[in-house]
Structure 1
Amino acid sequence: MTAASLRAAAAIPLVVARHAEESALLCNQRFFLAGSAHAKLHHLRRLDDRLAAHLDGLAVARDAGSRACDEALARAGRGEVFAAIVLALENRDLARLERLLAIAELLPEVRDAVALAGGWASGESLRGIAKDMLVSPHAFRRAVAIAACDFHMVDPGDALHAAVADTDTVLRAQALRAVGECGRADLAAACVGALQDGDPGCRFWAARSAVLLGERHKPVRALHDATLLPEAPHGTQALSLLFKLATPAQAAPLLAEMLDKPGHVRDAVRSAGTVGDTRLVPWLIAQMEEPAMSRLAGEAFSTITGLDLAWLDLERRPPEDIESGPGDSPEDDNVAMDEDDGLPWPDPAKIGDWWAANAHGFQPGERYFMGAVPSWAHCTGVLRNGYQRQRMAAAEYLCLLRPGSKLFPTSAPAWRQQRWLAQWPDE
């Protein structure tokens, strides 16, 4: 073997390890981007194409790719688990898949990565595997299969009937979530019954699914309670759905109650955008003066009016000494991403002038979403062209407008979303 051949052979493990490292990193970035307020579908597509290229590199490397993923699993983060499971599915390596699912079952913090892996894998890769997992004696395997079906907009079929009443909390919660997202009106009564479930997560998903399937009264208490739990894991989602259901008149006392609690002012600002009543716009403009609330208030204003503040030059420079996102210091325990990161800093004076000139085009007391009263055609347009958080809201509105419709999965692989949207009905 020549010296050049030896150097090339030695470099291959480094290249494969880099594919594993980059796959994990991009997956973690994707979780943030898919729920962000500054990324559109084409931005997600660019990241997904990069991620797919690194996953392809692992697949082409065969055993070397699997070994690189195994070595990366020493960190056992979401990205590492995602890459390893996608590779196992694409290679149809059932023994490796079983080991990976056993690891993931013990790590609640990576379960969303397991679901994404099932949603990322091709239908061909899942053929037979998902079907067997849906009837597995292991509850976690069934939960993973249901989540994968959900990502692919595929109805899990009869598997949901038993799963919504299973004794395993993880499986039951996933099944209750899937009922609404798959539009399973035949299981609406099961969701209403689960509003009394002993697990708060199951109660939330049951309430959300019941609402998506057309129930407008019984789930409201469960949604409200979900916002009051310590740390409220589903609080933001519950508030968003509550305020989509409430009329502006019903929302007013709820917003006032939130403003009386200092820790809930951000929730009130966010919810004002969901309510969509233009009588709240002057208050939102006032909130734009406060650095901690400014970008969120700008997003709420955009949610109501449909304006792109950056595009229309209605933004300003960030205030000095503003810190966002994880700190650089090793002693800093804050590693969370700033949920306002990427949002424009609104200019209250410019926006005030715009509102003074254009407020007459909006009817006070009406609900506006992205500049118009929610309708199927309008929300479909937002689903195609909006930012991710706007697209998520549009997908929910479509189900509220036509209960029993499937919920469009705005975090599915971007190329699959684009294919679905090309066939999505405009009316």
Structure 2
Amino acid sequence: MKHIIDNIIQQHAEEAAFLWLLRTNAVRAPHYALKDLAKLDERVEAHLDGLRVAGESGWELCKTALGTEENGEVFAASVMTCESGIESRIQAVCDVVQQKPELSAGLISALGWIPFDQVASQAQRLLSAELPLQQMVGLAAYAAHRQDPGPALKDALSSTDLILKTRALKAAGELGKTSLIPAIKAELTAEDLACRYWAAWSGALLREPAAIPVLQRLAESGHFKREQACAMALRRMSIDQAQAWLRSLASSPEMLRLVVQAAGVTGDPANIPWLIQQMSDPVLARVAGESFTMITGIDLAHDDLDTNRPEDFEAGPTENPEDENIELDPDEDLPWPNPQLIEQWWVTHRLPFTNGTRYLLGKPITVDSLHEVLRTGRQRHRIAAAIELAMRQPGTPLFNTNAPGFRQQALLQAR
């Protein structure tokens, strides 16, 4: 009997870790709506409940799983740890994270998963720790809940530890801290690229004009967050400025995918005929379709404007052991657009759209339309809506589209 129970507990631990990994992709997936995320998160919570009911046995299994040095296992163990409040357990998780800092993502996610009133004391303890990595985790926990960490945030902005400083720069934007704009501006020329990016990201969010050219240069230079940098810059530009920059970028063939994505960010229907042309290129087709949807709100699959994958097209790793391409297909979850049908649709439905006006999912961008997207859009649309809202309301925290789905639903219902 004990063997059977142990197997069940083991299954809860493994499923909680696996589903956490699944949700880290889901929060930015093009096919996940909030209701889908909430269902996934309810499954995560159900397995966490199984571990809670198991008590000490559940913790021991999670503690053993920490040895795999994977973020999903750290997440499950951290939830058990943080909810228990037992110091030895907390220290065990912190020791693992300190040895391998990239595992801090699992611990931070756990602190963000549990209601803030249950983790506030632990977040404060981490924030007050001597080790910069623990301070970063504590600061990230406050930011995840959109709670003010007090003077510790300003202190972290002047830290010599780059990981802590970088997280503080991001938190300043997430929390809407307009009072920290001078400190953020000082990092727009930082030698460290991560610091410079997050300073520019938060600066744009807080409507600091000096951030825009920094974001443009990061996007043009091939920074690993070039897509996000490009999108943030565009959202702070006028339509004319945005279109002029896109024309400049489009002159470089290696920038074409970025421009196709950017056309959706600008939301200007004047770009739609060009986007339809790009749908004939298998490499750009799906991302062009996504930008078309971003502007018009049309679901290509639901409205029968999609087609089959081209037979001779390959993206991502193949079964050939000699193939050196191991990168996953970035557009895997996007439908394949049918350019002919979409062009016909556009000829018929073009009239209500006005060139020079910014649209998101078929509606001109307004505060009300953005709130609607937060409630009903898919994750990538919701991320865009949250950023657009924060830019229109300086000093207001950025809505956290990464938070547990059931918590987001409650927050949006209360608004």
TM-score bin, normalised by smaller chain: over 0.9
Q: Kindly state the Cα deviation for residue 134 of structure 1 after the two structures are TM-superposed.
A: 1.9
Contact 1:212–1:404 (CA under 8 A) maintained in structure 2: no
Q: Kindly state the Cα deviation for residue 54 of structure 1 after the two structures are TM-superposed.
A: 1.1
Aligned to 1:338: 329
Structure 1 distance, partners of 2:117, 2:12, is: 23
Q: Kindly state the Cα deviation for residue 266 of structure 1 after the two structures are TM-superposed.
A: 1.3
Q: Name whichever of 178-187 and 328-337 sits farther off.
A: 328-337
Structure 2 distance, partners of 1:397, 1:251, is: 15
User: CA, structure 1 residues 288+119, in 2 after alignment: closer, same or farther (shift >3 Å)?
Assistant: same
Structure 2 distance, partners of 1:288, 1:228, is: 23
Structure 1 distance, partners of 2:145, 2:325, is: 35
Q: Deviation per CA, 1:315-363, whole angstroms, max 9, x where unpaired?
A: 1222224445565677767665433222221111111011111222111
Q: Deviation per CA, 1:103-132, whole angstroms, max 9, x where unpaired?
A: 223434333333212111232430311122
Out of 388, 391, 395, the position equivalent to 2:379 is: 388
Out of 180, 196, 199, the position equivalent to 2:189 is: 196
Alignment of 1:3-18 (within 5 A): 8-18=1-11
Aligned to 1:400: 391
Structure 2 distance, partners of 1:28, 1:333, is: 25
Contact 1:192–1:210 (CA under 8 A) maintained in structure 2: yes
Letter of the aligned partner of 2:353 in structure 1? F
Give the alignment's TM-score, normalised by structure 2: 0.94
Residue 56 of structure 1 pairs with residue 49 of structure 2: yes
Aligned to 1:4: none
Aligned to 2:251: 260
Letter of the aligned partner of 1:259 in structure 2? A
Structure 2 distance, partners of 1:203, 1:352, is: 41
Aligned to 2:228: 237
Could you tell me which runs of 5 or more consecutive residues in structure 1 were left unpaired when the two chains were aligned.
1-7
Structure 1 distance, partners of 2:241, 2:121, is: 49
Q: Deviation per CA, 1:26-56, whole angstroms, max 9, x where unpaired?
A: 1111111100111000100111011111112
Out of 217, 221, 240, the position equivalent to 2:213 is: 221
Structure 1 distance, partners of 2:46, 2:317, is: 28
Contact 1:36–1:339 (CA under 8 A) maintained in structure 2: no
Structure 2 distance, partners of 1:39, 1:336, is: 22
Residue 75 of structure 1 pairs with residue 78 of structure 2: no
Letter of the aligned partner of 2:189 in structure 1? Q
Aligned to 2:80: 87
Structure 1 distance, partners of 2:86, 2:92, is: 10
Alignment of 1:283-298 (within 5 A): 283-298=274-289
Could you tell me which runs of 5 or more consecutive residues in structure 2 were left unpaired when the two chains were aligned.
none
Structure 2 distance, partners of 1:116, 1:108, is: 14
Structure 1 distance, partners of 2:399, 2:83, is: 25
Aligned to 1:376: 367
Structure 1 distance, partners of 2:103, 2:350, is: 46
Contact 2:101–2:133 (CA under 8 A) maintained in structure 1: no
Q: Kindly state the Cα deviation for residue 138 of structure 1 after the two structures are TM-superposed.
A: 1.8
Out of 188, 195, 198, the position equivalent to 1:205 is: 198
Count the aligned residue pairs: 415
Q: Deviation per CA, 1:361-419, whole angstroms, max 9, x where unpaired?
A: 11112222222221110000001100000000000000111111110000100111011
Aligned to 1:5: none
Structure 1 distance, partners of 2:89, 2:170, is: 28
Structure 1 distance, partners of 2:169, 2:291, is: 30
Q: Kindly state the Cα deviation for residue 244 of structure 1 after the two structures are TM-superposed.
A: 1.2
Out of 66, 86, 93, the position equivalent to 1:100 is: 93
Structure 1 distance, partners of 2:153, 2:71, is: 26
Letter of the aligned partner of 2:376 in structure 1? N
User: CA, structure 1 residues 390+24, in 2 after alignment: closer, same or farther (shift >3 Å)?
Assistant: same
Structure 2 distance, partners of 1:12, 1:330, is: 41
Structure 2 distance, partners of 1:292, 1:109, is: 32
Alignment of 1:102-141 (within 5 A): 102-141=95-134
Aligned to 2:351: 360
Q: Kindly state the Cα deviation for residue 298 of structure 1 after the two structures are TM-superposed.
A: 0.6
Structure 2 distance, partners of 1:328, 1:41, is: 34
User: CA, structure 1 residues 294+409, in 2 after alignment: closer, same or farther (shift >3 Å)?
Assistant: same
User: CA, structure 1 residues 281+81, in 2 after alignment: closer, same or farther (shift >3 Å)?
Assistant: same
Contact 2:257–2:284 (CA under 8 A) maintained in structure 1: yes
Give the alignment's TM-score, normalised by structure 1: 0.92
Structure 2 distance, partners of 1:233, 1:108, is: 20
Letter of the aligned partner of 2:89 in structure 1? R
Letter of the aligned partner of 1:225 in structure 2? R
Structure 2 distance, partners of 1:388, 1:260, is: 31
Contact 2:204–2:233 (CA under 8 A) maintained in structure 1: no
Structure 1 distance, partners of 2:99, 2:278, is: 43
Out of 314, 339, 342, the position equivalent to 1:348 is: 339
Contact 1:134–1:146 (CA under 8 A) maintained in structure 2: yes
Q: Kindly state the Cα deviation for residue 285 of structure 1 after the two structures are TM-superposed.
A: 0.5
2:380 aligned counterpart, secondary structure = helix
Out of 156, 159, 163, the position equivalent to 2:156 is: 163
Q: Name whichever of 376-385 and 117-126 sits farther off.
A: 117-126
Q: Kindly state the Cα deviation for residue 423 of structure 1 after the two structures are TM-superposed.
A: 1.9
1:290 aligned counterpart, secondary structure = coil
CA RMSD, Structure 1 to Structure 2 (Å) = 2.0
Contact 1:59–1:90 (CA under 8 A) maintained in structure 2: no
Contact 1:214–1:404 (CA under 8 A) maintained in structure 2: no
User: CA, structure 1 residues 84+331, in 2 after alignment: closer, same or farther (shift >3 Å)?
Assistant: farther
